[in-house]
Structure 1
Amino acid sequence: MSIKSTAAARIALAASISAFFATTASADLTDQSCEAITDFAYPDLRIESAQYLQDAIIRDVAYPPHCRVLGFLEERTGTDGKAYATGFDLRMPQDWNDRFFFQGGGGTDGSVRNAVGTNTRGNPDTLTLGYAVASTDGGHNFGSRSDASFGLERKALIDYGYNSVELVSLASKALIREAYGRHAKTSYFLGASNGGRQGLQAAMRHPNMFDGIVAGTPIKEQTRGHLATAWSLVVLAEMAPKDDQGRPILSKAFPDADIELILGDITTQCDGLDGLDDGVVDSARLCNYDISTLICDAEKGEDCITPAQATAFSKIHEGPVNSKGEELYAPMPYDGGADFKIWHIGDAEEWPNNGRRARNQSIKMVFRQPGDPNFDPWSFDFDDLAAVENASQFVDAKSPDIDAFVLGGGKLILYHAMGDSGISAIDTTRWFETLLERYGVTETAKFAQFYQLPGLGHGRLGIGPSKFPALEAIVAWVEEGQVPEMQISGGTPERTRPMCPYPTFVTWNPSSENWDCQD
């Protein structure tokens, strides 16, 4: 569909806002004015503390003077008898740049992280740049981020799914207005993993909340993503050595040396697909890896793997299917920087296994509804998806309908690490393709860009470059109309490449002896 230009309307609105700010009194933050915020009246809000921090140092980073507000929204006793609220941390710097920044969460949240404005890797926290920053616990806090029992309580599930970001954003903007005597001119959201999912939920459900959203490696459809969790466990359990009680020990199925051998072979096979044989893969999406070349001709040796290992590795990357062979979740790309061990194997030498998939609890109580704390993912029935579909309405961010966000002038930068072994980059790619189908390639490029990052795992760590100025780019896009043109740097070996918005990809141009973005 075609999205009509709203540039003239936005210019007129910006002019009226500028006039408003020019005539509105601005307040100075002091110890007294910060502490006075504890008396601020707002529906269902309890401010626990408001403290002016002059010399805050967190993890060796010095932050500018700011007012820190800790509060709770919608405190209540849940249907399970537990205490619930949406907790938040809001930090307002003395030298404010008139922008609001929401710091996305991670995992299933469960704690209020320091609202310092966590940025993309290698870039400064936004609190140091003058942003007012908020974070939330997602509507539950039981003292452990791994406690997924909140999923058994319906409102807590909804708060985690999408409601808490809206609650905290609205309250934070009201507190900002109270503290500074003026509203934020622009609002931004930046997060990865669950934070990426929250960003997409905001674009879909709360389209007027943020002017710009940066969503990275999003767990956008984790109900289906956890089918891959169960699939991995079932596949590995079939071939892993067992303890004396018959329980699989996954670390013995894929020793570190074998994982390194496979990942190195992926790089070897797919290196030249980006146009240059240089020992790194910069266009991972072109990689169609053939693991059969590593299978031992006879006994297992250091330079080969067993047929069982090859079959398991391939099945995990191909993704879960039902008894009819129908795909249930997107495949995983083959990438030499994949964090395969962290997600699928772990390093436990005895039961219980400690890979992320093996120790996950949210598959039992959050991403299946109704939740069941006694559910056994090791014996998952891939023909029975009723509980998965029931949970989708609360937690998944999969609709391509972001019409209101687009019409309001919103901008979206989306990225996914191609070596992410926990969340499929292909799934995110397919979602972006639904945007292209809905709005058209030309129109989509006016408000959304998607980047595939090779050589990196879920936490944006790995052999690929990982430093790029996403926040700087989204701000320039929102406030100045500059379409992002970013470079990404870092990696092993260290290098700099242009970031190519999908569907283009980076390739070496021998004529110019440089890197270009090509279709």
Structure 2
Amino acid sequence: MTRAIGLGTCTLLALLVSASAQAQNRSSFIDSGNRPDLTSATVSAALSCTMLQSRAFDDVTTLTARYVEAGKGLPGFCHVTGYIRPQIRFELALPDQWNRRVYMFGNGGYAGEDLAAPSRIETRDAALSRGFLTVQQNTGHDAKTYDLGDFASDLALLVDYGSRAVHVTVQTAKTVAATYYDRRPTFSYWDGCSTGGRQGLMAAQRYPGDFDGILAGAPVLRFSDTGLWNIWNAQALLKAPIRKAQLPALAKAVMDRCDAVDGVKDGLISDPRQCSFDPAKDLKICENGGDDCFSKEQVETLKTLAKGVTVKGKTVFPGVVAGTEGLDAAGASGWDQWVISENGPSRQLAYGDTFVKNMAMLPASGKAIDWKSFDFDTQYEKVVAVRELVDADNPDLSAFQKRGGRMITYFGWSDPALNPLMGLDYYESVRKTMGAEKTSEFYRLFMVPGMFHCRMGYGTDTFDAFTPLMDWVENGKAPDVIHAAKIVDRKTVMTRPLCPHPQAAVYSGKGEVNDAANFTCKIP
């Protein structure tokens, strides 16, 4: 199927592969060497792997189980695949020596991924090699069959995508574990970013007994508003596009204006809310817009992007954050491909278009909607039913907290795909609902200056938040700091402490600005 905006099959597949690959930070377990207990006190299988095929599990069909011999740094394991009705494809890897922990990881974008994709196998194997029973699933549909959000025409598939698929899959995994090892897990963990982050929050909000620890990176928790925000941005850019060649000049102007606001000039904007960048004053203006200058119409586009989504004069979703246009070590801007694209629709537009066509107007069909003419003043309020299915913005986490759950979320301050203010606002709403002190006892948020979507960017993006989460769950040690690094060509060029909000990394005033030793976590 070819979309009206020109999304061909190759473009759709590229979006899917990109979303899947970025659904993990890829740094989990790098600090797990100080956890020797991961491979101690393990249990072995109580029956042969192939015998699982003769067992019946609720709603599971076409189950296969085959034994995989140890090799390439992996233990021997029982590889189980199957479907949970109606179409949830799942995979379990049950190691010979199980550390009594379940590790389940998330999805990206509109999901439907191939579970054997290299990036997913890499994530699976990182946990499997440490003795975890690993779990993954495709959220209930196959992206080879559906174009992005087209699966939502089937309400059952949309419900599975929204929250059910993760829940029933982890419950199935625990049941299979009890059968195979004659033991149930001692601890169960979730690890995901982007859509995977939203899935983690959904679990905490709707199925608080599923996981003991949840790591939720860059959660698209206001999924519906994000889809509409994508359209808002695309409409603004349609009037006066920003060209790729102009992004370095824009990035430099923002950094020149805001880098030193936090007290140190280090190539990072530690909190974009302190940035007072004004495109009308801080950019070079020219008649038609050049590589190093911007037209008056382009300035208005930038103002509209920064203003955020407004409905009848009221802001309902925050605008594009200053610093997201920044350049990484290779000179690539965070906006390139996500916010603007010169070879087909941007990712924001592709995701937003499929949202308004397939989900926004449930239960009525919205496939006839043209994103160019979507009217926010009259149509925004009609986006109601889908919110209950896919949005993960309930601030009442009392059930998760009362049963001892622990959660860490993180967000790149320079995320061009998902608005970081969305994650910050949610955390503040939890603090308001449950109390600041009580919230910090079970849930902490870490903002990451200069990081793009889940990883990459011009800040530190290599950090292990999963090992501190385990420490918190199993030993009661809450993370007061997470150590992060920026690695370029296999060399560490910057280190920083990541701090639990509302704290931030504050420069001591002395020493190398790229050395974490010269920063401390405190409330600015």
2:162 maps to what in 1? 161
Question: In the alignment, which residue of structure 1 is the partner of 2:310?
Answer: 321
The answer to whether 1:356 aligns with 2:358 is no
Shift of 1:363: 3.3
Runs (5+) with no aligned partner, structure 1: 1-21, 76-84, 240-252
CA shift, 1:142, in A, is: 4.9
* CA deviation map 1:179-223 (0-9, x unaligned): 122111100001011100000000000001100000011111111
**Partner Cα separation in structure 2 for residue 219 and residue 363 of structure 1:** 16
Aligned residue runs from structure 1 range 156-195, under 5 A:
156-195=157-196
Cα distance, 1:146 vs structure 2: 3.6
State the identity as a percent.
28
The answer to whether residue 67 in structure 2 is matched with residue 67 in structure 1 is no
Tell me the amino acid that sits aligned with residue 364 of structure 1: K
Is 2:94 aligned against 1:101? no
Deviation at 1:115, TM superposition (A): 9.3
Structure 2 vs 1, CA of residues 117 and 257 (structure 1 numbering), >3 Å: closer, same or farther? closer
1:48 aligned partner: 63
Paired with 2:129 and 2:342, the residues of 1 have a C-alpha distance of: 38
How far residue 26 of structure 1 moved from its aligned partner, in angstroms, is 4.9
| Alignment RMSD | 2.6
Shift in alpha-carbon separation, 1:308–1:63, aligned structure 2, 3 A: farther
Other-structure match for 2:508: 509
Which position in structure 1 is the counterpart of 2:17? none
Q: How many residue pairs were aligned?
A: 463
Work out which of the residue numbers 345, 368, 371 in structure 2 matches 1:377: 371
Q: State whether residues 400 and 435 of structure 1, in contact with CA within 8 Å, keep that contact through their aligned partners in structure 2.
A: yes
User: In the alignment, which residue of structure 2 is the partner of 1:391?
Assistant: 386
Give the C-alpha shift of residue 423 in structure 1: 1.4
Alpha-carbon distance between aligned partners in 1 of 2:206 and 2:127, rounded to the nearest angstrom: 25
**AA at the equivalent of 2:270:** D
1:436 to 425, 431, 448: 431
Which deviates further from its counterpart, 206-215 or 501-510?
501-510
Please say if residues 482 and 498 of structure 2, whose CA atoms lie closer than 8 Å, have aligned partners that are also in contact. yes
Question: Aligned in 2, Cα 1:328/1:119: closer, same or farther, shift over 3 Å?
Answer: farther
Of 300, 307, 312, 2:301 maps to 312
Q: Distance in 1 between matches of 2:394 and 2:121?
A: 26
8 Å contact kept, 1:42–1:171: yes
Q: Which residue identity does 1:497 align to in structure 2?
A: R
Shift of 1:299: 6.2
Q: CA deviation at 1:174?
A: 0.6
Q: Secondary structure at the match of 2:453?
A: coil
Confirm or deny: 8 A CA contact 1:101 1:131 kept in the other structure.
Answer: yes
Asked if structure 1 preserves the Cα contact closer than 8 Å seen for 2:409 and 2:446, the reply is yes
Conserved in 2, the CA contact under 8 Å of 1:26 and 1:181?
A: no
In the alignment, the residues of structure 2 paired with residue 97 and residue 116 of structure 1 have an alpha-carbon distance, to the nearest angstrom, of 25
Letter in 2 for 1:432: Y
Q: Deviations over 1:64-88 (max 9, x none)?
A: 321111111123xxxxxxxxx1111
Compute the displacement of 1:119 (Å).
Answer: 11
1:332 is aligned to 320
Q: Secondary structure at the match of 1:419?
A: coil
Gaps of 5+ in 2: 1-40, 328-332, 513-517
Does the aligned pair in 1 maintain the 2:112–2:143 contact within 8 Å? yes
Task: Using structure 1 for the length normalisation, give the TM-score.
Answer: 0.83
Where 2:297 maps in the other structure, the secondary structure is helix
Structure 2 CA distance, aligned partners of 1:425 and 1:494? 25
Q: Helix, strand or coil: the match of 1:68?
A: strand
Once the 2 structures are TM-superposed, how far is the Cα of residue 164 of structure 1 from its aligned partner?
0.7
Larger radius of gyration: 1
Aligned residue in 1 for 2:24: none
Give 2:522's aligned residue: 518
Is 1:115–1:134's contact at 8 Å kept on the other side of the alignment?
Answer: no
Whole-Å Cα distance in 1 between the matches of residues 133 and 275 of structure 2? 42
Task: Provide the residue aligned with 2:45 in structure 1.
Answer: 28
Q: Which among 275, 278, 281 is matched to residue 263 of structure 2? A: 275
TM-score in terms of structure 2 length: 0.82
Q: Match for residue 11 of structure 1?
A: none
Amino acid at match of 1:278: D
Return the alpha-carbon distance in structure 1 between the equivalents of residues 119 and 173 of structure 2: 14
Deviations 1:330-381 (A, max 9, x none): 2232113562122221131xxxx32112323233213442342332111111
* Secondary structure, aligned partner of 1:516: strand
Out of 110, 113, 122, the position equivalent to 1:111 is 113
Q: 1:5 aligns to what? A: none
Give 1:254's match in structure 2, choosing from 237, 242, 246: 242
Partners of 1:102 and 1:117 within 8 A in 2: no
Which runs of structure 2 are paired with 1:121-270 in the superposition (5 Å)?
A: 125-144=126-145, 146-239=147-240, 253-270=241-258
CA contact (8 A) 1:117 1:133 kept: no
